[in-house]
Amino acid sequence: EAGVAQSPRYKIIEKRQSVAFWCNPISGHATLYWYQQILGQGPKLLIQFQNNGVVDDSQLPKDRFSAERLKGVDSTLKIQPAKLEDSAVYLCASSTGPNTEAFFGQGTRLTVV
């Protein structure tokens, strides 16, 4: 079974630039999560989708972050404009539904300089 695919693996941008991350969940997984993990901390949930609807985006900084999940499959997370404090690993995960095992991708490491 193919895992959760994320791209790119690494990205370096200057502050005030924009960046987008892509996630392809495991086929058939209805729930998709985006997390931000700052060095030395646990992953922080940014947004959770159920199919193409948003279940929770309470921790998403909506003035600069946006996410979409068109057709309930792939998802993109965008930051515009980026700040230095956005430097982190952005993790995508998917699961078949509530209270089931979630599978995580390798993450995208973002460095804002």
Partner 1 sequence: DAKTTQPPSMDCAEGRAANLPCNHSTISGNEYVYWYRQIHSQGPQYIIHGLKNNETNEMASLIITEDRKSSTLILPHATLRDTAVYYCIVRAERYRDDKIIFGKGTRLHILP
106 near partner 1, rule: CB under 8 A: yes
44 near partner 1, rule: CB under 8 A: yes
How far apart are alpha carbons 45 and 77 in whole angstroms? 13
56 near partner 1, rule: CB under 8 A: yes
Three-class HEC string of 6-71: EECCEEEECCCCCEEEEEECCCCCCEEEEEEECCCCCCEEEEEEECCEEEECCCCCCCCEEEECHH
Closer CB to partner 1, residue 13 or residue 45? Answer: 45
28 near partner 1, rule: CB under 8 A: no
22 near partner 1, rule: CB under 8 A: no
Residues binding partner 1 (CB under 8 A)? 4, 31, 33, 35, 41-45, 48, 50, 55-56, 91, 93, 97-99, 101-107
